[in-house]
């Protein structure tokens, strides 16, 4: 299901209010086993393939850093049952190219949020070949075993500007991740006109909806304007921390009748390179 940042502001307020009313004060205190319990274990999986230019990579980094320290995100954090989340940030490209930039960190307020944001912004920028969303999803799934936390929810937040063209088929990887009870949300980046040279596709948001995301209340926030990038990331993180369930019915992701073929990336790669 596709959401645009401006259209869900009211839903965010409703969700956060409900969380505040439902949260039991005793659950924040934490003795014993409660100390390692967080509202969500969140994996941020960020595309650094060559189709992303250096300006976009910097914009992406800045967007996550600013979103994590925003008033909206910190307010959402405070409204959670435990008032803290566990987060890790990694960058990906081809099927075997995934690199953790920020290992698991617990965010429980402005100081820890600022520390994570600083780690993201200070890491050197890099780019790499191919686009393997499937590789990113499977790598993200493996990271949960080392979080050191027990989240009420487990979420993978995957961003990218192209379709899967390397590694396992994306729907196979997606279904494996979903079978573990993990939710996948998407942030398709659609800032440039599709071109043959970059093998971009025009309906990337629909591709993400039909082929990539899934799980309880899974959603897509598309980025189509540079000036909306930070807002889109902030909106997405607020929804993920709040555990927002949109009023509209969320349809299960399915490769049976996708609007965009889930193998479009592989086809475009084969047509251009022949392998």
pLDDT in tens, 204-249: 999 999 999 999 889 999 999 988 888 999 999 999 998 875 444 4
Reported as type and span, the H/E element at residue 47 is: strand 37-47
CA of residue 103 relative to chain centroid, distance: 16
Q: Report the distance separating Cα 59 and Cα 37, nearest Å.
A: 32
Q: What is the pLDDT of residue 269?
A: 66
Sorting pLDDT into bands at 50, 70 and 90, what band is 1?
A: low
pLDDT in tens, 28-45: 333 334 578 999 999 999
Q: What are the residues facing 49 on neighbouring strands? A: 128
pLDDT in tens, 45-54: 999 998 888 8
Reduced to 3 states, what is the DSSP secondary structure of residue 52? Answer: coil
Q: Which residues contact 12 (CB under 8 A, 6 or more apart)?
A: 72, 76, 235, 238, 239, 242, 244
DSSP class per residue in 108-168: -SHHHHHHHHHHHHHSPP--BS---HHHHHHHHHHHGGGS-SEEEEEEEEEEESS---SSS
Q: What are the residues facing 274 on neighbouring strands? A: none
In terms of pTM, does the model score above 0.85? Answer: no
Average pLDDT over the chain, rounded to an integer: 84
């Amino acid at each position: 299901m596709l959401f645009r940042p401006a259209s869900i502001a009211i839903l965010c307020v409703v969700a956060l209010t409900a969380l505040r009313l439902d949260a039991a004060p005793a659950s924040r205190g934490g003795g014993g086993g409660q100390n390692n319990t967080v509202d969500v274990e969140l994996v941020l999986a960020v595309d650094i393939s060559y189709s992303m230019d250096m300006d976009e990579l910097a914009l992406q980094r800045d967007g996550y850093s600013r979103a994590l320290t925003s008033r909206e995100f910190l307010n959402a954090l405070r409204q959670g049952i435990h008032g803290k989340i566990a987060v890790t940030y990694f960058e990906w490209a081809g099927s075997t190219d995934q690199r953790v930039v920020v290992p698991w960190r617990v965010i429980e307020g402005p100081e820890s949020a600022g520390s994570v944001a600083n780690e993201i912004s200070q890491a050197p920028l890099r780019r790499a070949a191919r686009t393997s969303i499937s590789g990113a999803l499977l790598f993200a799934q493996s990271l949960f075993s080392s979080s050191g936390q027990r989240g009420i929810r487990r979420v993978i937040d995957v961003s990218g500007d192209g379709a899967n063209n390397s590694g396992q088929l994306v729907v196979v990887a997606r279904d494996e991740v979903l079978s573990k009870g993990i939710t996948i949300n998407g942030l398709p980046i659609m800032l440039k006109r599709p071109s043959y040279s970059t093998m971009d596709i025009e309906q990337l948001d629909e591709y993400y909806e039909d082929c990539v995301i899934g799980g309880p209340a899974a959603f897509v926030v598309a980025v189509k304007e540079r000036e909306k990038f930070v807002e889109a990331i902030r909106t997405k993180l607020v929804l993920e921390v709040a555990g927002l369930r949109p009023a509209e019915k969320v349809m299960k992701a399915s490769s049976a009748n996708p609007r965009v073929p889930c193998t479009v990336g592989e086809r475009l790669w084969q047509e251009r390179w022949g392998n």
